[in-house]
Chains A and B, each alone.
Chain A
């Protein structure tokens, strides 16, 4: 079974530029998550989708971050404009369902460096 795919794996941009990340979840997984992992910290949830609807985006900085999940499969996360403090690894995860003891499977992440 193929895992969660993410691209690009690495991205370097200058502050105030825009950037987009892509995620393809495990086939059949209804729930998709984007996490931000700053160096030396645990992942922090940014947004959760159930199919193509948003379940939780309470920690998403909506003035600069946006995300969409068209057709309930792939998802993109965009930052515009980027700030220095956005340097982090952006992890995408997916799970079969959205409640209870469901396991979240993580992709390898996109490492973003903002100069």
Chain B
């Protein structure tokens, strides 16, 4: 069993839709949760970062962590064509640097 599971998609939505991306994990030692966005032929860039459980909002993006269910989510409101990319969840344990990534979900926002 992989430590981090993510539906690879692909996911296609019309412009303006609300997008929900999710990951599940098995290791309860994970405390730091991140979402990276990766455009084609580019390296991942950090989009959202959350420590432990709770919600975090940044503009059109909201990250949620539910540690009791070992489930994290990223919501994108009013999606734009420029949001078309692969979204990777990542997580790590306290005091460690090794990031454990999901497989990534490929998102296309259709104008």
Q: Which residues of A are at the interface with B, using a C-beta cutoff of 8 A?
A: 4, 31, 33, 40-45, 48, 55-56, 91, 93, 95, 98-109, 111
Which residues of chain B (27-49) have a CB below 8 Å from chain A? 32, 36, 41-46, 49
B99 at the interface (CB under 8 A from A): yes
Nearest Cβ on chain B to A49's Cβ, whole angstroms: 11
B11 at the interface (CB under 8 A from A): no
Listed from nearest, the 4 A-B pairs whose CB atoms lie closest are: A42-B101, A106-B43, A106-B44, A45-B98
A91 contact set on B, CB distance < 8 A: 43-44
B68 at the interface (CB under 8 A from A): no
Q: Which of A43, A48, A98, A108 contacts B101 (CB 8 A)?
A: A43
B109 at the interface (CB under 8 A from A): no
Interface footprint category on B:
20 to 34
Docked Cα-Cα span, A55 to B98, in Å, equals 10
Q: Do A43 and B99 touch across chains, with their CB atoms under 8 A apart?
A: yes
> Can you name 13 A-B pairs with beta carbons within 8 Å?
A4-B43, A41-B104, A42-B88, A42-B90, A42-B102, A43-B44, A56-B97, A56-B98, A98-B97, A103-B49, A104-B97, A106-B45, A109-B43
Docked Cα-Cα span, A107 to B51, in Å, equals 24
Nearest Cβ on chain B to A10's Cβ, whole angstroms: 10
Q: Do A55 and B99 touch across chains, with their CB atoms under 8 A apart?
A: no
B95 at the interface (CB under 8 A from A): yes
Nearest Cβ on chain A to B97's Cβ, whole angstroms: 6
